[in-house]
Amino acid sequence: MLAFFTPGEQGSWSQTDLIGIFIGTLLLTPLQAAGEEYGVRGLVFRVAGSWARGSRAGLVIGVLVSSVVFTAIHGSTDPYINVWYFVLAAGLALITWRSGGIEIAVVLHAVLNTVVFIGAALLRVDLGTALQDRSAGVGSPYQLVPTLTVVVITAVVWWRTRRTGPALTPARIPLRPDVRL
């Protein structure tokens, strides 16, 4: 994200291309982010968490496995980019756990991706090159700034849920014997 402030390769974009990328980004990026969240946090996180007997062990396993899967899916060999993906995934997994729903993670992921893609289009960054090149040496220490931002957002959600803790499934209330379904 902060790579926008460093010199990079620009592409030649027509006004029509910019408008198309802008509209496509606004319409499709939130869906893409939601798909990733439902796949990784909604499925992998919960399935991996069920491998353990205890709730704490399940949380740790779920966060670690889903974060490694998320990082691997993005296919980078750069350590800075991999740290960014892993911390983002772990933060979103913890937010999902603490809030009891995937909605906050979906919104954060969608806003992040939308801002990055629209910023790239506005600065006329060559999106094809920027998105495909995740090789070692591409990332930089600047990548740690958004990483720390995710840590702060996760801490805020954790702090806001400190009294209630993670959202729990309501306890079953037995039906009265005289009540029929």
First to last CA, the chain: 55
pLDDT in tens, 6-22: 545 555 777 887 888 88
Q: Is 161 helix (H, G, I), strand (E, B) or coil?
A: coil
Is the pLDDT assigned to residue 135 strictly greater than 80?
Answer: no
Q: Which residue has the higher pLDDT, 131 or 52?
A: 52
pLDDT higher than threshold 60 for residue 43 = yes
DSSP 136: T
In sequence order, which ranges of the chain are alpha helices (DSSP H)?
Answer: 15-39, 45-49, 55-73, 79-99, 103-122, 127-132, 144-160
The pLDDT of residue 98 is above 50: yes
pLDDT at 136 over 80: no
Residues 6+ apart with CB under 8 A from 52: 58, 60, 61
> 10 forms bridges with which residues in the sheet?
125
CA atoms within 13 A on the CB side of 11: 15
Q: In the predicted model, what is the mean pLDDT of the chain?
A: 83
Q: Mean pLDDT: which of 26-30, 124-128, 136-140, 173-177 is highest?
A: 26-30
- Is pLDDT at 1 greater than 60 in this prediction? no
